[in-house]
Amino acid sequence: MISMDFDGLKASIIEMLSGVDVTVNTAMFKNDTESFRSKDDVLTYLIHLGYLGYNQSNHTAFIPNEEIRQELSVATESTKWNELIAFQQESKNLLTSTLDMNCEEVASGIERIHMEYVSAVQYNDENSLSSVLSIAYLSSMQYYFKPIRELPTGRGFADLVFIPKPEYKQNYPAIIAELKWNKDADTAMKQIKRQKYPDSVLNYTGDILLVGISYDKKSKMHQCVIELINE
């Protein structure tokens, strides 16, 4: 079922594995498992099986918990989708570059993933950029909990926060990412510090990486700055 190559199905699976909800039309499904006709049919069937949750108010499908996310990840890996395998490697490289504080590689990695795998997601504000970043850091979910978007900090909301799972806490820092659209990455970093976003995760981890990411609409270029706060 998952191995079918319907247009957009692979991209939707990648998005959901990364914690993003995807739009699905459930109205056309005929409850016929022998003749899937579209991506929506496959996703609707997965909803019926309980592998996906469904939000009736905005007509989106999502992965309801970590256990099912792991099962679905294994299922997709077993199909040997070249596109998914390539994406996972790109995402791993991006996480490694982030942890190595290689700003240039992070910026170019995000740009590649955006252009090659999630070009359907249109940048028009920080919220759209946050969706793309959630997808790009899919590989982080091996070591981190599902990324928290718009985490309340007492002085605003941190755009994207990654908290390491307990067994990886000593080797992986928490990551706080602030995103800016049509502004520079230094502006994002200044906001992280000015609003004291790191204070919101001190109870969860030791070291913290502060990551400022920006996207320029005209040049379509990304910028990145990274700083480390030691425990």
Regions of the chain where pLDDT drops below 50: 1-5
Q: CATH no. for residue 24?
A: 1.10.10
Burial 1-20 (b: 16+ CB within 10 A, else e): eeeeeeeebbbbbbbbbbbb
Q: Phi and psi for 221 in degrees, rounded to 5?
A: -100, 150
Q: How deeply is 167 buried, as exposed, middle or buried, from its count of CB atoms within 10 A (0-12, 13-18, 19+)?
A: exposed
- Kindly report, residue by residue over 61-113, the tens digit of the pLDDT: 998 887 777 777 766 666 556 666 677 788 899 999 999 999 999 999 988 88
* 67 and 107 share one domain: no
pLDDT at position 118 is: 62
Dihedral angle sign, alpha carbons of residues 151, 109, 206, 64? positive
Q: How far is CA 48 from CA 22, 92, 124, 155, in A?
A: 16, 32, 34, 41
Are 55 and 100 part of one and the same domain? no
Looking at the fold, whether 121 and 225 belong to one and the same domain comes out as yes
The total number of structural domains that make up the chain: 2
Together in a domain, 96 and 179: yes
Domain boundary among 78, 95, 125: 78
- Are 68 and 151 within one domain? no
pLDDT at 107: 94
Whether residue 2 is contained in a domain is answered as no
The predicted model scores a pTM of 0.72
Domain containing 47 equals 9-78
- Does residue 212 lie in a domain region? yes
The answer on 122 and 194 residing in a single domain is yes
73 and 93 within one domain? no
What is residue 1's predicted lDDT score, i.e. its pLDDT?
41
Angle at 152 between CA 197 and CA 225, to 5 degrees: 35
Residue 195 in domain: yes
Q: The dihedral of CA 118, 116, 88, 83: what is its sign?
A: positive
Q: How many CB atoms lie within 10 A of CB 39?
A: 20
